[in-house]
């Protein structure tokens, strides 16, 4: 035990550490579940491209369209998912520089998302410039973006999770949109059951979820929580390239 630290303080630290580890594992487990689905899609992209190249062909629009059953199955198996898809890297397809295959839930089934990808158009959806695409292309990182209102795609309040696809070279990014009204309650349940007030904070110090009303969802903290500062007793990173942290504070 460190000099000056009482047995009670040491015991409280151990309890807080155990609680934090539990909450971090629960939250990261929810993200990992989605990333596992994304890795399945990424594996399909790589396998289909390799098969085409082995036969002397080229991976193109038709091969991307054949991903539909896999994408629809991923949506169906992830209750919070609004859509799944793959965005191609520049130069991957011989027919066009920009192309994506994205399917999402519709009123009577699954519908294909269509966006304007013409770079000369004023309302172009230039996914090359999106943070979630650049994270994979430029930094080989996954991304957890949001929550935000997706006006271009689902036109709903969503989280977007993406993962890069590589097969020696960068092939593009696989992604999933999660509806906030479905995923947020799961995050809230993950923070419950401990002896502390707990808050999940994302980039830009935004509150994503909390097990108490002392932090309002969507509000912004003055700074990213740190252990021993601003009333927080312990803080840990969720990981998985999410830039999320879980912070514990004494119960009010």
Tens of pLDDT, residue by residue over 93-137, are: 999 999 999 999 988 899 999 999 999 999 999 999 999 999 999
Q: What is the pLDDT of residue 216?
A: 96
Q: What is the pLDDT of residue 21?
A: 98
User: Closest Cα to residue 97, out of 63, 142, 127?
Assistant: 127
Residue 50 has pLDDT above 80, yes or no: yes
Confidence at 156, pLDDT banded by 50, 70, 90: confident
Q: What is the pLDDT of residue 7?
A: 41
DSSP state, residue 89? P
Q: Which two tokens stand for residue 46?
A: 């790589």
What is the CATH code for 30-182? 3.30.450.20
Domain boundaries, the chain: 30-182
Pairing of the two strands 169-179 and 157-167: antiparallel
pTM of the entire structure? Answer: 0.93
């Amino acid at each position: 035990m460190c000099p000056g630290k009482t047995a009670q303080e040491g015991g409280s630290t151990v309890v807080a550490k155990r609680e934090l580890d539990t909450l971090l594992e629960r939250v990261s487990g929810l993200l990992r579940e989605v990333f596992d689905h994304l890795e399945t899609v990424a594996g399909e992209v790589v396998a289909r491209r390799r098969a085409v190249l082995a036969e002397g062909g080229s991976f193109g629009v038709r091969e991307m369209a054949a991903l539909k059953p896999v994408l629809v199955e991923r949506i169906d198996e992830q209750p919070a998912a609004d859509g799944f898809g793959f965005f191609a890297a520049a130069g991957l397809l011989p027919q066009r520089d920009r192309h994506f295959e994205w399917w999402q839930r519709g009123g009577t089934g699954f519908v294909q998302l269509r966006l304007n990808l013409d770079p000369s158009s004023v309302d172009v959806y230039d996914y090359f410039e999106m943070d979630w695409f650049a994270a994979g292309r430029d930094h080989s990182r996954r991304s957890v973006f949001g929550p935000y209102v997706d006006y271009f795609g689902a036109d709903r309040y969503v989280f977007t999770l993406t993962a890069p696809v590589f097969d020696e070279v960068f092939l593009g990014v696989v992604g999933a949109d999660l509806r906030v009204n479905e995923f947020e309650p799961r995050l809230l349940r993950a923070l419950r059951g401990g002896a502390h007030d707990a808050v999940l904070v994302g980039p830009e110090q935004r509150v994503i979820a909390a097990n108490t009303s002392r932090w309002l969802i969507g509000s912004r903290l003055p700074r990213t929580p740190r252990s021993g500062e601003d009333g927080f007793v312990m803080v840990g990173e969720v990981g998985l390239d999410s830039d999320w942290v879980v912070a514990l504070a004494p119960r009010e």
